[in-house]
Structure 1
Amino acid sequence: MTEVDEDIPEGAARASIVTGSRTTLQIAESVLRMVAKPVPEEMIGSETLRRLVEEMWMCMLDAGGVGIAAPQVGISWRLFIGSAMNILPSTVFINPEVEYFGEASVLGEEGCLSVPGWRSAKVLRHPKVIVRYRDLTGAARVATYEGLAARIVQHEFDHLNGKLFIDLDETPDVDHPLRRRALRAMQEMDTRLKEAEDA
């Protein structure tokens, strides 16, 4: 999730031992539509996972975001991170499970590092969530989030299930060029995935 209105910086792409680059994948990448697999038990607490998380932090900070999920850097694991000053403490969520409270009734603004340039103020989210997850050491954690913190968690958790915020966008201006581009990329991505399933 992004809190700035800018595209991913040109300098954000740098070599990475784990992922091959620190560029955030954009909407045309089919991994963003896949349901991610759990982080393997043997990877939890490993140096490889620690490095991946470090690279995710750097990628997120380079791009001016407040959260990023592993599928956004090309790793289809159930893992995301989030950090927003005075809202969400810096947290690593490994194999999270989210419990929602109340109806998805709160409209708010969202953007996404994987959908550069497009923002919407009409994305419905639940007002409160409880998250059960493992931290970077493997310890089991439970946390409750409300308001913007809950929005960030829901946005990143959606990435683990192949969903993007634009799927929930209720903005009526469907003729916006950035939205048209994003919708076209999503259709192409869904077509490729269906062709791969049918092959």
Structure 2
Amino acid sequence: MAVQKYVVRLLTVGALALALTGCVSVPDAIKGSSPTPQQDLVRVMNAPELYVGQEARFGGKVVEVFNQQGKTRLEIATVPLDSGARPILGDASRGRIYADVNGFLDPVDFRGQLITVVGTIAGAEQGKIGNTPYKFMVLQTNGYKRWRVVQQVMMPPPVDPWYWGPHPLAVWLWLRWLASLRPRTRSGSDSSNRVSNCYY
């Protein structure tokens, strides 16, 4: 009986790990054609003319939406991307870009949302943030992904009160797993449960 419970738990953890690794891949809509699209906005803005025509991928929060003739311009406050090309929450903005998307996008659906865009660098253009002049990198977008974020809390598995005790190896594995659920937070305090952000 105890062995069966242990095997079931082990298989469940294995299936969960496989499911989570499957979520790391970059969605087709923002893969692009280059194996390594440019993602360093600071480097591009130091010499934008050198990167014109190159493929790039950036993501962050849509600050403003401008509907223009035949296209929509998204003003994005960019942040670093993770291995799945998702904006990393909590990071400071690396700068702003204009992402031009063909067709009409409703501002209500995009303003304030997290997004990743891929396309060709078209150069830089002067604009403003409030009343302050600002140089924006312009991206001719050929793909984008709008992200929705759901927060998940993972709890440790329950312990059966009628269970006499697991195999010593199972105890070691369980304690190791439990320790991994207690990451350091930014303030330095321990978190009793793992809180993760799930994108879709």
Which structure's residues are more often strand, by fraction? 2
Same fold per superposition (TM over 0.5): no
Q: TM-score, normalised to structure 2's length?
A: 0.24
Which protein has greater RCO, CA pairs closer than 8 Å, 6+ apart?
1
Task: Return the index of the structure with the highest Cα Rg.
Answer: 2
Q: TM-score, normalised to structure 1's length?
A: 0.24
Which structure's residues are more often helix, by fraction? 1
